[in-house]
Structure 1
Amino acid sequence: MKKIYVLDTNVLLQDPLAIFSFEDNEIIIPAVVLEEIDSKKRYMDEIGRNARRVARLLDGLRELGQLHEGVLLETGGTFRVELNHSSVLTLQKQFLEVTSDNRILAVALNLQEEEKMAAAPRPVILVSKDALMRVKADSLGLKAEDFLSDRVVHEYSSIYPGYEKRIVASDIIQNYYAQRKLTLAENFPKVKFYPHQFLVLKDECNPSVSALGKVDGDGRVLEMLVNDDDPIWGIKARNVQQRMAAELLLREDIPLVTMTGKAGTGKTLLALAAGLYQIEDMQRYKKLLVARPIVPLGKDIGYLPGEKEEKLRPWMQPIYDNLDYLFNTKRPGDLEKILAGMGSIQVEALTYIRGRSIPGQFIIIDEAQNLTKHEVKTILTRVGDGSKIVLMGDPEQIDHPYLDESNNGLTYVVEMFKEQRLAGHVKLEKGERSILAQLAADLL
C-alpha cells in the first residue's frame, strides 16, 4: 500500500535529496516548510548551503509540472507542495500557539482526516528529525518517524570497532608467533576481515595466552605489528586499543586514520605525539596541522577580541592543554615560545580549511563527530599528496542540532572506508585520563 509522507523542514536541511528516499510513495511539503527554508538560505554555514540546494532542487522540479498539483519523481513517487489543509482548528484544543511546527502538524493531521473518508485510505506519516515534533504527532494520533536514510548504521553500537577478539586453538597462536604471520583463509574459513583490522587471539585452553595482529591491506594475512611498544614522543600506550591506534598513526601506508572513543581514552594525545614524532624526529612530514570545528558546549561566549590566533585560543584550548603536557612546560608562555621556535605546528579552525590543498602534512581533525557528511567530504578532499589525516571524536558527545551518533561525519567515514586499504580505524574503550574521568564517562 502506498503511503503519504509529510516532511518537516529539518529533514530537508539535513539531506536536501530526502524527497528521493521514499520510493514510489507520495511526498508532501507543507507551504510553511518553504517559508522556513527561505529564512535559512542566507546562512553561511551547512544549514544555509542545504537550504539553497533545496531551493535549486525545487526550482528544477517546476519543469516537470505545477508543484502544488504534484510532479512525478524518478523514483516512481510523486512530490507535492501542499497549499491547503493548513487550518489549525484541529489543533487548537491541544496546542494553542500557531507556530511553524504546529502548522506542519495541522497539514499532516488534516490530510489524515481526509484520507479516512477515501475508498482506499492511505497512511499519513510525518517525518521529522525533531524528537518533540514526533512526540506531539503521536499524542494527536498521527504516525511519525525519524528520517533514517542518512544513517550509515541504525545503531551506534553496531559501528565497525576496528578490531575483533577470537578464541582459537593453542597451535594457531604458536604458528602465528613462529611464522610471524597467519593466513586468514586457512585458519578462519568463510570469515570476512577488513583491511588493517586488528585481531586479538585468545588461547581456548589458557585465556592468559594471547596474540595481537593486524590484517594486511588485502584482508588476507594477519601480520605482527610493525611498530614496537616503545614510547612515542614520551607517550607509551597503556592498553591494547592504544597500541592499535599507535600502529595506525605511525604507518606511512595508511593515510587515513579514524579513532572513536569516550573522553579520556587518549585519542588527541596519541595523535599529537605521533604527529610530532614523525615531523620532528623522522621528518616524514613538513608540518603538523591541528583543527577542530567551532561548536560551543553550552551557551556561546559571543564575539572575541583580538587577532585570529587570540580569537581561536578558547576554542583550541584542549589542543594546547595536550601540547603543554607533551612539551612538559612549567610556566605560562613557555608553550608559545616553543611553538614559535619550531614553526612546524599550526593550530587552525576548520572554518579556514575550505579551498586549501594540504600536501606533505600530518593533519589532525579533533571533535570530528560534529561534522556533517558534506563537511567531512570537504576536509578529506583537501588532503594533498604525501599527507596523512586523522579524524577522531566521540560520537556519543554531539553538539550539532541535526546530527546524532549514527549520522555524523565521523561515523560516516568509519563505515564508508572500512573496506579500503588506505584507511584504518580503532575504537578506544578504556579511559586513561584518571579513575574519576573513566567513572564519569561510564556513569553520566
Structure 2
Amino acid sequence: MINYVFDTNVLLYDPMSIFTFENSVINIPITVIEEIDIFKKHMDQTGYNARFVARKLDELRSLGELNKGVKIENGSIIRVNVCNHHLKDLIPDELISDKADNLILSVAKYLQEKEDKEVIFVTKDANLRIKADVLGIKSIDYEKDKVEIESFFEGAKKVVVSDDIINRFYQDGELEIEIDAAENEYLFLVSEINEKHTALGRYSKKNGKVVKIKEFKEGVWGIFARNAEQKFAFDALMDDSIKLVCLMGIAGTGKTLLAIAAGLKKVADDRVYKKLLVARPIFPMGKDLGYLPGELKEKLNPWMQPVYDNLQLILSSEDGGYSYKALLEQNIVEIEALTYIRGRSMPNQYFIVDEAQNLTPHEIKTILTRAGENTKVILTGDPYQIDNPYIDYHSNGLTYVVDKFKDDEIAAVVTLIKGERSELATKAAKKL
C-alpha cells in the first residue's frame, strides 16, 4: 500500500478526493483539519467543500478511530495524523516551523522515515511540490478531471475546399461532406484557389452535413457580430436546440456582451425563456460578501458591475437609452452570485455563468445540474486568466465542460480570438 499525504487545497478543490485512491493509506495531517475549520465559515463553494469534508470525516468516526485509520469500501484506509515529533528534526531550519504548509509537509517526511511504505505527497500547490522535492519526498498534483492542452477543443476549424463546393454551399444552404469534425463544430470553408472566397457553416455529424449558420445582419438587441467567431457565437446562442454554449476568449472579445444580448432577445422579444439569469463567482476578489457594507444587493455590486456595464451598453444602443434597472424591476433580468445557486431548480431560464474559468469541475457540475426543463446555459470565460488558486488551465471547470461536451449534439463551443472592445484593449491583451 502507498501512503498518500493530502494537502488542504486538494480537499477544498475536490471534497471527494480522499475516496478516489484505492487500496492505499490516505493520510490527512491534523493541520489540514485546522485549515478546513477556517474555510468552513466561508459562504462560497470553497466553504461548502470544507463543510462537506468535515461531515464526511465525522461520519467515518463511527467506523473506528481516525488517528489509527478507518477502512472504507474501496480498500483504502483514511487516517488523521497527529505525529509526535520535533519539526526541526525533519525539515531544514530555513523553513518556518509554525507555517501550516511546512507542518503538513513534515507529516509526509515523518511517514517516510517511520513507515515501510512509499510516501506520495498530493498537493495542488506548485511551491509545496518544490519543497517536497528538495526534502526527497515524491509529490504529485491532484489530476482528476485534468484536460490536456494539446488536445483541447476550440470549437472551430479551417477547411480548404474547391471553389465549386463553396458556390454549391451558398446555393443549397447545406453541404454533404466527409470531414473529421465534431458535432456542432464550426467551419471556415476557404476556397483552394481564392482565399477570399469563404463561407461559414456548422457541422451536423449525425446528418453528415455542413449547414449555413444563421447570420443576424440587423443585429441582436443593437449588437452586431464583427468577425466570424462572433457570428458563430450568435448562431449557437440563438439556437434553442443547443442547450449548452461555451464561449471562450481573452478580455474584450465580446463573450459576455454577446451572451447577454442574445439572452435579452430570447427572453424579452421571443419569450422562449421566462428570465435571463446572469451569475458570477464572487471569490476571485479575495473577500466574502460579509466584508462589504449594506444590503445583499449593495454587497454584490462590486462583483456584478461588469454585468451591469454590459447591460447598460446594450440598452444604450437601443433608441431611448433605457436603464438596465427597469429590466431588473420587471424581473426580466436577474443578477445573482453563484454562492446562492446551490439547491435551486431553474426551469425556463436563459442562464449565463460569467468567468466560468474560476470554477472547479465539481462546481460546474453543481451548476449544470440546477438547469431545469427548457433552460439554456452559457458558460463564458478565459481559461488563461484564472484567479482561483486551486485550479489552472488544465483543471478548471470551463475547460472540463468543453472537453466532456465537445461532441454532444446539445452543446457548442466557440473560441473568440479577435478583441473588439477597443484598439487599446486588444493590444494590451496581446502585448501584456
TM-score of the pair, normalised by structure 1: 0.85
CA deviation after TM superposition for structure 1 residue 174, in Å: 4.2
Q: Supply the distance in 2 between the matched residues of 1:422 and 1:356 (Cα, whole angstroms).
A: 22
Q: Supply the distance in 1 between the matched residues of 2:412 and 2:351 (Cα, whole angstroms).
A: 15
Amino acid at match of 1:110: Y
Kindly indicate whether the alpha-carbon contact (under 8 Å) linking 2:184 and 2:407 is maintained by their aligned counterparts in 1.
no
Aligned counterpart, 1:144: 139
Q: 1:111 to 1:357 in 2, by over 3 A?
A: closer
Q: 1:254 to 1:355 in 2, by over 3 A?
A: same
**In the alignment, does 2:135 pair up with 1:135?**
no
SS of 1:58 mapped into structure 2: helix
CA deviation after TM superposition for structure 1 residue 214, in Å: 0.6
Q: Supply the distance in 1 between the matched residues of 2:278 and 2:33 (Cα, whole angstroms).
A: 39
Q: Please provide the CA RMSD for this pair.
A: 3.0
Mapping 1:145-294, distance limit 5 Å: 145-151=140-146, 153-155=147-149, 158-184=151-177, 187-188=178-179, 191=180, 193-216=181-204, 218=206, 220-294=208-282
Aligned counterpart, 2:410: 422
Deviations 1:96-132, CA, capped at 9 Å, x for gaps: 42222212211212333346xx6xxx54221111222
Q: Supply the distance in 1 between the matched residues of 2:114 and 2:291 (Cα, whole angstroms).
A: 51
SS of 2:35 mapped into structure 1: helix
Q: Supply the distance in 2 between the matched residues of 1:76 and 1:336 (Cα, whole angstroms).
A: 56
- Residues paired across the two proteins, number: 429
Mapping 1:10-409, distance limit 5 Å: 10-61=9-60, 66-84=65-83, 86-88=85-87, 89-114=89-114, 122-151=117-146, 153-155=147-149, 158-184=151-177, 187-188=178-179, 191=180, 193-216=181-204, 218=206, 220-297=208-285, 303-328=291-316, 335=323, 338-339=326-327, 343-409=331-397
Kindly indicate whether the alpha-carbon contact (under 8 Å) linking 1:166 and 1:201 is maintained by their aligned counterparts in 2.
yes
Q: Supply the distance in 1 between the matched residues of 2:26 and 2:357 (Cα, whole angstroms).
A: 30
CA deviation after TM superposition for structure 1 residue 342, in Å: 5.5
Q: Where does the alignment leave 5 or more consecutive residues of structure 1 unmatched?
A: none
Q: Supply the distance in 1 between the matched residues of 2:80 and 2:336 (Cα, whole angstroms).
A: 43
CA deviation after TM superposition for structure 1 residue 267, in Å: 0.8
Identity %: 49
Q: 1:291 to 1:61 in 2, by over 3 A?
A: closer
Q: 1:439 to 1:56 in 2, by over 3 A?
A: same
Amino acid at match of 2:173: R
Amino acid at match of 2:416: L
Q: 1:355 to 1:67 in 2, by over 3 A?
A: closer
Q: 1:350 to 1:106 in 2, by over 3 A?
A: closer
Runs of 4+ in 1 over 6 A off after TM superposition: 298-302
CA deviation after TM superposition for structure 1 residue 426, in Å: 0.9
Which of 84-93 and 229-238 deviates more? 84-93
Q: Where does the alignment leave 5 or more consecutive residues of structure 2 unmatched?
A: none
Amino acid at match of 2:336: E
CA deviation after TM superposition for structure 1 residue 209, in Å: 2.6
Which of 173-182 and 416-425 deviates more? 173-182
